C-alpha cells in the first residue's frame, strides 16, 4: 500500500531515500545541466557580439570628423560653378567633368 501513497515523480520531492534518484530525475538533471551550459555559451557569444558592435560603432565615430571635412569640401566644390558662371570656358570644362570621369577629372584637379 505504500506505493499508492507516493506522489508522482513530477509532482514534487521524492519519498525515496536521500541518495536514490529516479531515472527521470537523473535525466532531468542532465538536461538542465546541458541547458545551463548552452545558455552560458549563448551569453558569452552575445557579449562577444556586443563588444564587436561597440568596436564597429567606435570606428564609425572616428570617421565623423573626416566625413565633416569631406562634406565641407563637397559644399565648397559644389558652389564653384555658381561663382564662375560668367566664364563660358570653365563652365564647359565642368560639363565635361560631369559627363566623363577620365580626362575631365584630371583637368579639374589641375585647376585646383
Q: Where are the domains of the chain?
A: 22-62, 64-112
Residue 20 pLDDT = 80
Q: What is the DSSP letter of 8?
A: P
Which grid cell sits at 111? 585647376
What is d(CA 45, CA 35) in angstroms, rounded to the nearest whole number?
A: 15
Q: Average pLDDT for consecutive 10-residue bins of the chain (112 residues)?
A: 48 58 95 98 98 94 90 84 53 49 48 46
- In the structure, how many helices (H) and strands (E) does the chain have? 4, 0
Q: Which residues contact 81 (CB under 8 A, 6 or more apart)?
A: 91, 94
What is d(CA 85, CA 72) in angstroms, rounded to the nearest whole number?
A: 21
Q: Do the Cβ atoms of 10 and 23 come closer than 8 Å?
A: no
Residue 85 pLDDT = 55
pTM of the model: 0.44
Which grid cell sits at 2? 505504500
Amino acid at each position: 500500500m505504500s506505493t499508492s501513497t507516493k506522489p508522482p515523480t513530477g509532482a514534487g520531492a521524492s519519498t525515496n531515500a536521500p541518495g536514490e534518484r529516479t531515472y527521470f530525475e537523473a535525466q532531468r538533471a542532465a538536461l538542465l545541466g546541458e541547458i545551463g551550459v548552452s545558455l552560458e555559451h549563448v551569453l558569452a557569444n552575445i557579449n562577444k557580439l556586443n563588444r564587436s558592435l561597440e568596436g564597429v560603432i567606435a570606428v564609425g565615430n572616428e570617421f565623423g570628423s573626416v566625413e565633416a571635412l569631406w562634406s565641407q569640401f563637397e559644399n565648397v566644390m559644389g558652389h564653384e560653378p555658381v561663382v564662375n558662371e560668367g566664364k563660358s570656358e570653365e563652365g564647359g570644362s565642368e560639363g565635361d567633368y560631369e559627363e566623363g570621369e577620365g580626362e575631365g577629372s584630371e583637368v579639374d584637379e589641375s585647376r585646383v
